[in-house]
Amino acid sequence: MKNIKFYLLSFFIILLISGCSDNGASNNPPPSSWDIVIVDSDGNVGEYSSIAVDSDSKAHIAYFDHIGYELIGTDTIPRGNLKYATNADGVWETAILDTGTGMTPRIFVDNNDKIHIVHTKLGATNLPDILNLRYTTNVSGFWETITISPEVVKGSDASIIVDSNGKVHISYRNEEGVGTTSEGSDGGLRYVTNATGEWTWVQVDPCSIAGNDTDIALDGNDKVHISYLDKGAGLKYATNVTGSWEFYIIDGTYNVGWNTSIAVDSDNNVHISYSDPAPLIDPPGNGYLKYATDVSGAWTIQVLDDDEAGYYTGIAVDGDDNIHIAYHTLDGIAGDLDYATDASGSWELEEVDGEGIVGLFCAIALDPDGKPHFSYYDYENQILKYAKRE
């Protein structure tokens, strides 16, 4: 699951690193103002948040309503619901869209401002349903949820996008040994779509330890681009640009590539943000926010923040092809929501919210004016928060 070993226990043992080294980024950008609000404080809410913004600059957030734990064998797993929040009517409203499910939700708003959410079914009440991939949408005018190919598709860490024809594309990690057919039991990175009118899937990367923390994007030709973690190889990237699926190792550093996020610019160049986690969390890591791109024609990698940074990341590209990244940093026993952008021509780093232990499960989306909107989790208060540029 998308938890980077849910490193929160390390808050109490983490070593402080004394400031950033020279990594080409400035952490003294011009002052700016952020509008920060509590969206939902009803229980333990806000883990695994994902955000999208519609054509009217209204925000839509999918997130997990964590109501407890239960045992499956000797494994303790979270139990809860899929929740959704929006300020589309001028005030924040929340709703439970699916019960007993909702892990690692990802949300997308299509060209008609309709909502699409992919999420994972957990729960011990019906074990054959464990790790079913669920798809929730209001395309018909009311909310509907379906299970995608339940015998074959057993997913986690899924991501979703909709193409110019309204067809859905999903990347996910298929869990080895979970599916109820021989096809379904294979692990690795998979891709599923309804582009033909029916749900079809393909095995993209058959490595059984590949496919964690997937993210998906489409280019201007509706070709698919996926970033993901291979626990044995590092950050990987897969695409069907050539007409068939190919995948590559982008950053072969061991255990690097957690919390990937991917975006494609107007020239079909690829941009990926990801984590090199701290050594006390995932040895032998460094605690870096990293960024990879093929904009020069070859893949280049840059450390944007090396001060216990990047444990959760989200990336977006604006209409001028500027890059915007939301990420979480540690600060002793606190945590911040931070923001990196190259909109000025060079990378600048900025704190958005530093009140307590905030910024976990952060996500970013841009409105039509290119302004960033963030959703994220406040760990101390167990609430969902939202920030945007004023």
User: Residue 68: which pLDDT band, with cuts at 50, 70 and 90?
Assistant: very high
Nearest-angstrom CA–CA distance, 120 and 1: 10
Asked whether the bond before 284 is cis by omega within 30 degrees of 0, the reply is yes
Q: What is the pLDDT of residue 178?
A: 77
Give per-residue pLDDT as tens, 260-277.
999 999 999 999 999 998
User: Is pLDDT at 86 greater than 70 in this prediction?
Assistant: yes
Nearest-angstrom CA–CA distance, 218 and 239: 10
Spatial CA neighbour of 121 closest among 161, 149, 141, 163: 149
Q: Are strands 34-40 and 200-205 parallel, antiparallel or unpaired?
A: unpaired
Q: What is the pLDDT of residue 388?
A: 97
pLDDT-wise least confident of 122-126, 290-294, 302-306: 122-126
Q: What is the pLDDT of residue 27?
A: 53
User: Is pLDDT at 342 greater than 70 in this prediction?
Assistant: yes
Q: What is the pLDDT of residue 254?
A: 82
Contacts 24+ apart (CB under 8 A), 126-133: 127/72, 128/180, 130/72, 130/154, 130/178, 131/155, 131/156, 131/175, 131/178, 132/101, 133/158, 133/170, 133/172, 133/192
Q: What is the pTM of this model?
A: 0.91
User: Residue 200: which pLDDT band, with cuts at 50, 70 and 90?
Assistant: very high
Distances in whole angstroms, Cα of residue 377 to Cα of each of 64, 213, 359: 10, 18, 6
Specify whether domain 7-389 bears CATH 2.120.10.10.
yes
Give per-residue pLDDT as tens, 10-57.
333 233 323 333 455 655 444 568 999 999 999 999 999 999 999 999
Domain locations in the chain as residue ranges: 7-389
Residue type, 77: I
Q: Which two tokens stand for residue 326?
A: 């939301």
Nearest-angstrom CA–CA distance, 56 and 67: 33
Spatial CA neighbour of 227 closest among 251, 194, 244: 251
Nearest-angstrom CA–CA distance, 94 and 344: 36
Nearest-angstrom CA–CA distance, 322 and 320: 6
Please tell me what DSSP assigns to residue 240. Answer: -
- Mean predicted confidence (pLDDT) in 139-168: 93
Q: What is the pLDDT of residue 282?
A: 63
3 state SS of 46: strand
Give per-residue pLDDT as tens, 329-338.
987 778 999 9
User: Residue 283: which pLDDT band, with cuts at 50, 70 and 90?
Assistant: low
- Mean predicted confidence (pLDDT) in 136-158: 93
Arithmetic mean of pLDDT over the chain: 89
- In sequence order, what DSSP letters do the residues of 368-387 get, joined into one string? TT--EEEEEEETTTTEEEEE
User: Is pLDDT at 6 greater than 60 in this prediction?
Assistant: no
- In sequence order, what DSSP letters do the residues of 313-350 get, joined into one string? EEEEE-TT--EEEEEEEEETTEEEEEEEE-TTSSEEEE
Q: What is the pLDDT of residue 13?
A: 27
Percent of all residues in the chain with a pLDDT value above 70, rounded to a whole number: 89
User: Is pLDDT at 279 greater than 90 in this prediction?
Assistant: no
- Mean predicted confidence (pLDDT) in 57-74: 93
Residue entry with tokens 């090199």: 276
- Mean predicted confidence (pLDDT) in 357-373: 97
Count Cα neighbours of 351 within 13 Å in the Cβ-side half-sphere.
13
- Mean predicted confidence (pLDDT) in 144-167: 93
User: Is pLDDT at 126 greater than 80 in this prediction?
Assistant: no
Q: What is the pLDDT of residue 11?
A: 35
**Burial 176-193, CB ≥16 within 10 A → b, else e:** eebbeeeebebbbbbbbb
- Mean predicted confidence (pLDDT) in 95-110: 95
Nearest-angstrom CA–CA distance, 266 and 269: 7
154: left (phi over 0), alpha (psi -120 to 50) or beta: beta
- Mean predicted confidence (pLDDT) in 72-76: 82
Highest mean pLDDT of the ranges 199-203, 261-265, 386-390: 261-265
Nearest-angstrom CA–CA distance, 361 and 64: 11
- Mean predicted confidence (pLDDT) in 158-185: 87
Q: What is the pLDDT of residue 284?
A: 65
User: Residue 70: which pLDDT band, with cuts at 50, 70 and 90?
Assistant: confident
- Mean predicted confidence (pLDDT) in 198-205: 95
pLDDT-wise least confident of 44-48, 125-129, 158-162, 313-317: 125-129
User: Residue 215: which pLDDT band, with cuts at 50, 70 and 90?
Assistant: very high
- Mean predicted confidence (pLDDT) in 253-260: 90
